[in-house]
Amino acid sequence: MILKEIEKLITEGARACGYDDNFSVTFSDKPLLSDFQCNSCFALAKKYGKKPLDIANEIVCHIKKSDEFEIVAISPAFINITLTKEGLKKVADFMLKDQRGGLEKNEVSQKVLLDYGGANVAKSLHIGHLRTAIIGESLKRLYRLLGDEVISDVHLGDWGLQMGLTELQLFEEGKLDFYFGKSDEKRELTIDDLNEAYPHASKRKDAEEDFKKKADEWTLLIQSKKQPYYDIYKVIRAISVNEISKNYRKLGAEFELWEGESDASEYCDEAVKIIKDKGLARESEGALVVDVAKEGENIPTEKNGEKFFLNPMPPCLIQKSNGGDLYATTDIATILKRNKNYKLDRIEYVTDARQKMHFTQVFRVCKMSGISPQNQQLVHVINGTMNGKDGKPFKTRSGETVKLEDVIELLLNKAKEKLTANGNVADDETALKIGVGAMKFGDLINTVSKDYVFDIDRFLSFEGKTGPYLQYTCVRINSILSRFDEERGGEIKIYNEEMRQVILAMLKLNSSYFICYNEKSLNSLCASVYNLASAFSAFYNNHSVVNEKDLAKQNSYISLLRLIKKKMEQALYVLAIDIPKKM
């Protein structure tokens, strides 16, 4: 990477004057003055008791002369570095020839399991699952691009009370008569049956104590794999998974593993046994719990006569009094299972903040019990919520949670409107790419942990920091390039300032992947790819590629465009934003 290369030059220069220190180089925060900067001389001056500027000057004088960089010391003690035309040309040619466009990989490759779907069987996918899918998919693509080996798991919520509730509701509606021998005619269950049953049952659960108790029993019967309860459950699961996968496909989220909580059920007993054998479990009101609190947590506090805990960290419930599996148990058992099947350096989860406590507890139990080896990283990537314009979590007009399907439909229709208004044919495929692309960029440009406002009109604008603007940039470049034969192109000579800015934007883009990797957030990549698209736009507005008469110049332009195309496509691939053929 270019920053490393410059750091090496400076370090060698410094060594020649007797300073055996580390230097760090960044992109310049004053791009009018230089392309890169090094601020390390301040610390050196302190260490050696010299004047900062003297040290900077001394080092600069000892840096090996190169026709690729211009290096100067400026007051108070910066070393400023600028790429010469020769340097830029070398960088551009390298990026053009390199399959990855000069993007390196991490020095160490890790084996990672990424758990980021979380859709629930028998329930519709809702808006809360949207960010998780978008962020998880992009993190997966990013990790892979930088050399990690990643397995993605949708980890369906398929082992909880919602199954008992749904089955009981369907039973009472007479839709399960065949399974219970009450009718000879098999009535095939449909997705509409499920979509109706769960919300209904969920309301009844809160209003009818008896219904809730019965649903608990049904859940236990399913979890104990009793017939016909378990067979019906499998039918419900299959219908639901079919529907869920359609939605994930529309979002471009792909999972290798379509497993769920239920797949860990056979490991629950073993997990509980390990925890018990380690002496970590205790009984509490008939249930089994593990105390996971550390010092400084659960401090009894009283304020205005009200008693509560400061830093609450309740014990983790690992077995219900009726012996049923709990959410935490399935996650602990899933880690046990994963560690039996793979040798994982990292297990990472993407969900919203509501699960923070859950994962803290699960991770602690796994570490305390050795279910997760000490050198394995367990990471919870917490995403903020998507809010409506009122700043509150996005809801339907009647105040209900928005279904993911409805959001996709909305994006599709809005994109169609936009395309038609611009005089284009609005086919479903293109509209979906634009609508979903707009949504993804509108999401990923925010720091993962922050909430943001869903503003569909702004997201769908063809100008500014938006998905469609980036897609449009690619479409435009493709259309220009389609006018030239494959043989055209060649070395990239730097003819103007705009070309220079494009190449610098690509260097920044390359380094943003590593920032994203460390931050587990895609916002830096979004900003950098937008920056590249704007640099291209400035270039394109000032120089005509098609009408350029000077052939050598035109060849340079063509190659530059090919390189931009490669870099834009690479970035949009990571953001999982598809590029339409036309728009």
Long-range contacts of 397-404 (CB under 8 A, 24+ apart): 401/126, 401/127, 401/128, 402/126, 402/127, 403/124, 403/125, 403/126, 403/127, 404/124, 404/125, 404/126, 404/127, 404/129, 404/130, 404/247
The structure tokens 């923070």 sit at: 356
Least spacing, CB of residue 275 vs ligand ARG, in Å: 18
What does 125-166 look like in DSSP terms, one character per residue?
-BTHHHHHHHHHHHHHHHHHHTT-EEEEE--BB-SSHHHHHH
To the nearest whole angstrom, how small is the minimum distance from the Cβ of residue 435 to ligand ARG? 24
CB of 180 to ligand ARG, least distance (A): 29
Nearer to ligand ARG, 155 or 414 (CB): 155
**Would you give the binding string for ligand ARG spanning residues 443-462, x where CB under 6 A is met?**
--------------------
Among 331, 443, 498, 578, binds ligand ARG (CB under 6 A): 331
State which residue, 262 or 554, has the beta carbon closest to ligand ARG.
Answer: 262
Residue 495, helix vs strand vs coil:
coil
Nearer to ligand ARG (CB atom), residue 58 or residue 325: 325
Q: Under the criterion CB under 6 A, does residue 155 sit at the interface with ligand ARG? A: yes
- Tell me which stretch binds ligand ARG (CB under 6 A): 75-83, 113-121, 294-302, 439-447: 113-121
**Of the candidates 13, 2, 243, 3, which has an alpha carbon nearest to the alpha carbon of residue 120?**
243
Report the amino acid identity of residue 133: A
CB of 206 to ligand ARG, least distance (A): 18
Q: Which one among 52, 101, 136, 157 touches ligand ARG, defined by CB under 6 A? A: 157
The two structure tokens encoding residue 102: 């000069």
**Nearest distance, CB of residue 351 and ligand ARG, angstroms:** 5
Residue 79, exposed/middle/buried by CB under 10 A (0-12, 13-18, 19+)? buried
Looking only at the bridges linking them, the beta strands covering 281-284 and 78-83 are unpaired
Residue 120 engages ligand ARG in binding (rule: CB under 6 A): yes
- We find the least distance from the C-beta atom of residue 115 to ligand ARG, in angstroms, to be 5
Span interacting with ligand ARG, options 112-120, 310-318, 371-379, 398-406, rule CB under 6 A: 112-120
The position carrying tokens 């069987």 is 121
CA 436 to chain centre: 15
Nearest-approach distance from CB 117 to ligand ARG, in angstroms = 7
- Contact between 115 and ligand ARG by CB under 6 A: the answer reads yes
- Beta bridge pairs of residue 150: 112
Least gap, CB of 350 to ligand ARG (angstroms): 8
Binding segment for ligand ARG among 1-9, 114-122, 385-393, 475-483 (CB under 6 A)? 114-122
* Residue 435: how many other CB atoms lie within 10 Å: 28
- Tell whether residue 118 is a contact of ligand ARG (CB under 6 A): yes
Tell me: does residue 158 bind ligand ARG (CB under 6 A).
Answer: no
When asked if residue 351 is in the footprint of ligand ARG (CB under 6 A), the reply is: yes
**Among 25-33, 115-123, 450-458, 545-553, which window interacts with ligand ARG (CB under 6 A)?**
115-123
Apex 287 CA angle, 283 and 289, nearest 5: 60
Residues 82 and 69 sit within 8 Å (Cβ to Cβ) = yes
Among positions 229, 267, 349, 441, the unique one binding ligand ARG when judged by CB under 6 A: 349
Residues of this chain that bind ligand ARG (CB under 6 A): 115, 118, 120, 155, 157, 331, 349, 351
